[in-house]
Structure 1
Amino acid sequence: MHDTDPPRDSVLIVEDEPKIARLVADYLEGSGFATRHIDHGDSVLPWLKAAENRPALVLLDLMLPGTDGLTLCREIRQRWPGIAVIMLTARVEEVDRLLGLELGADDYICKPFSPREVVARVKAVLRRSRAAQDPQPADPKQLVLDDDGWRALAEGHDLGLTAVEFQLLKVMMQAPGRIFSRDQLMDHMYRDHRIVSERTVDSHVKKLRKKIADVWPEREIIRSVYGVGYKYQPEE
């Protein structure tokens, strides 16, 4: 690196499988990131306590020797809230906990995964993290969520969403451009894991789109991806 080059974002990879860690590190470094690898949960917090060790993001495996990933995520959030966290897990049943506000994970990736997906998700989380730390003036054309009141406001107009519709919209807005399958959306919409059909998701999306179209008839921000699911795609 030349002295005139801008500093690279650093990613801490906490993963006890060396082949996975090396593969992810190679792809991240190929995309301009600096990386550091730790393979034991007990070594993470002592390393982070050193003032010179402040990664922009931690890729954190759920199942680790020593201190587990859930505990580490909670500790990182409490001590260093400016560090973004993406959880890595092979346990699909843990996904709701990983995304829960009580843990504060910014995103999760299920194993097995593509290293290209990891790079894309790291970049997306860092973009969102920086936008949150350096907020821009509110754009009246944007959709705003009021978590306390469970409301969605479009140009100040309350869309009148049901609780399920609000949760559906919130999940997609947290990851703009990410495609959610119907199964993933069902898991977020119905936390009691009731059995519903994919048509139920389609019905809720249809109603949500109609309520948005009542305010913005010319805009399509909830888009279908044929054969896969849906995504939130705000206009540039």
Structure 2
Amino acid sequence: MGKLDGKIALITGGSEGIGLATAQRFLAEGAAHVFITGRRQEALDKAVKTLGGKNVTAVQGDTSNLADLDKLYSLIQKEKGHLDILFANAGSGRVAPLGSITEKHFDDTFNVNAKGVLFTVQKALPIFTNGGSIILNGSIASVKGVPGLSVYCATKAALRSFARCWTVDLKERKIRVNTVSPGPIDTPAMRSATSNEEEQKAFMATMAAGTVMNRIGESDEVAKAVVFLASDDSSYVTGIELFVDGGTAQI
């Protein structure tokens, strides 16, 4: 028996990286069906093939667009009738040092990372199972000061606050809300942070050196933590921030 047998799950930003790895883990643990979202149809099609094409539905859309969220939940309700697990994983971040932050940069970052997560969760509630599990994908940026990433860091701190508040808001429905906060993880997004191979190697080496374990984490290592928070293994765990960071934010 799997830890998620028969569960219906949604993973936003599920076409690559942590989201895709989590979808793979959910299916391996017996989830009856996993919905994934993403902005790029080509990436979603590739993800579905990677996931084997069974018990998975890819829905193109932008989590910061409320109309797209309405369409998403209408589809889930029509096809499955309810939702047991939500991993609000979609997010983005770009470097913008204080002094060069534009209004557009601020709005774009908060729209995806904060507004998008808020409404992804809120709009799920009418079809969400009592006793279900909501996991927010945070970051060590919620507690670390990172040069040039003050706006991104602020959005991740907001998610930590959301989890605390929503845990209380949803306690009567026995819905648990937790945050998983990755450190340096080898994902396409992280590798695209630099413009060439030489810079990429130097960047990855610097990130690895900042961890106690002296290495970059893998997406599947975060996915395993999400499975824990989604399953009954964490039945007495709610409102926490679980760092999966090789000790980066701890030491």
> Does the pair score TM above 0.5?
no
Q: Which has the higher contact order (CA 8 A, sep 6+)?
A: 2
What's the TM-score, normalizing by structure 2?
A: 0.30
Name whichever structure is richer in helix by fraction: 2
